[in-house]
Structure 1
Amino acid sequence: MADYQHIAHGFEPVFDERSRVLVLGSFPSVLSRQNAFYYGNPRNRFWRVISSLTGEPVPKTRDVASKRALLVRHGIALWDVIESCDVRGSSDASIRNVTPADVGRITSAARIGAVICNGSTAGGLYHRWLEGELGLVATVLPSTSPANASWSLARLTERWGEVLVPLIEKTGEAHD
Structure 2
Amino acid sequence: MRLEHPFDPIADDRSRVLVLGSFPSIASFEAAFYYAHPRNQFWPIMEQLFDVALPDKTARRAFALEQGIALWDSYASLVRSENNSSDANLSELTPNDIPAFLAAHPAIRHIFCTGRKAYEGCVKAFPDLPVPCTLLPSTSPAYAAMRFDAKLEAYRQLKAVLDAD
Map of 1:35 onto structure 2:
31
5 Å-filtered alignment, 1:1-176, equals 5-57=1-53, 59-60=54-55, 63-88=56-81, 89=83, 90-103=85-98, 104-132=100-128, 134-161=129-156, 163-170=157-164, 173=165
Q: CA deviation at 1:150?
A: 1.7
Cα distance in 2 for residues equivalent to 1:124 and 1:70? 27
Aligned residues: 162
Whole-Å Cα distance in 1 between the matches of residues 102 and 49 of structure 2? 23
Q: State the secondary structure of the residue aligned to 1:86.
A: strand
Amino acid at match of 1:46: F
In structure 2, C-alpha distance between the alignment counterparts of 1:131 and 1:160, rounded to whole Å: 23
**Conservation of the 8 A alpha-carbon contact between 1:100 and 1:130:** no
2:69 maps to a residue whose letter is: I
TM-score, normalisation: structure 1: 0.86
1:77 Cα deviation from its structure 2 partner: 0.6
Distance 2:142 2:122 in 1: 20
Whole-angstrom distance in 2 between the partners of 1:168 and 1:144: 20
Identity, % of aligned pairs?
A: 37
Structure 2 CA distance for aligned equivalents of residues 150 and 91 of structure 1: 14
Farther off after superposition, 35-44 or 98-107? 98-107
Runs of 5+ in structure 1 lacking a partner?
none
* Pair 1:74–1:169, CA change in 2 (3 A): same
Partner amino acid, structure 1, of 2:80: V
TM superposition outliers: structure 1 runs of 4+ over 3 Å: none
Offset of 1:73 from its aligned partner?
1.1
Aligned alpha-carbon RMSD (Å): 1.4
List runs of 5+ in structure 2 lacking aligned partners: none
> How far apart are 1:146 and its partner, in Å?
0.9
3-state SS in 1 of match to 2:124: helix
| 8 Å contact kept, 1:81–1:130 | no
Secondary structure at the aligned position of 1:129 is classed as coil
- TM-score, with length taken from structure 2: 0.91
